[in-house]
Amino acid sequence: MELLPEKYAAYLHESSLHPYSQHLEMKDKCWYWVINCLNQEATEIILMNVLMKKNSIMLKKQKLEVKFTEKRYSELGDKELLHNFYNEEKSRYLNLHFITPTAFKQAGKYLFYPDLRCMYQSCMNKYDAVMKDESMIDEETLEQLCENSRVICYDLKSVPFHLEGIKIPAFIGKITIKLTGTQTLANFAHLLLQFGTYSGIGIKTAIGMGAVKILDEGRRRE
């Protein structure tokens, strides 16, 4: 936030839903800082104008300089995302891996298991927050998604997410969702959760929670 233009940083502080997500991920004994920007403005300001020009950052509390050994950038346009929805028959199974602590907030309380309604609603809300010309929030569609989705396999554990001296109850792990109903509804579920791999799912995705990946698309995980 300190690196961003003051006006844009102030806008982000005031927003309840942010146009980006970020998390840390360990792969092949290397740490990756993954930042997903969800619209053109965030991409230009956060990535292109600031972070892509940096070779390191300072962690002030630890008095530690973190150097970037490599930078990579890729882009998935909204037309490409929607193309998969309109032109493919998606599988009736979705395998999800929650790779960082994930939680939801409902009626002022933390919910730390993969509630399907909360998952779909989170993706809908985040999509609408960044796609100003389109809307996915539809109570009837949400009800149909919930009625035609069920978790048939899971491998989860509860973990805390540490934030400024507070422990937020959360979960990590894998689930398999079975989709029934129409093919259009199954495709829509895939679309929402694919978007969720960029936006993050649940609360505090702007500071590392809720990172998720889709695994083995098209196959039921045993």
User: From CA 180, how far away is CA 106, in angstroms rounded?
Assistant: 26
Sequential DSSP letters for 23-81? EEEEETTEEEEEEEE-SHHHIIIIIITTGGG-SEEEETTTTEEEE-S--------HHHH
User: From CA 78, how far away is CA 84, in angstroms rounded?
Assistant: 10
Going residue by residue through the chain (222 aa), what tens digit of pLDDT does each one get? 899 999 999 999 888 889 999 999 999 899 999 999 999 999 999 999 999 999 999 998 889 999 999 999 999 887 787 777 777 788 999 999 999 999 999 988 999 999 999 999 999 999 888 876 667 778 899 999 999 999 999 999 999 999 888 999 999 999 999 999 999 999 999 999 999 999 999 999 999 999 999 997 555 555
- This prediction has a pTM of 0.90
Which helix (H) or strand (E) element contains residue 33? strand 30-37
Give the pair of three-digit tokens for residue 135: 């809307």
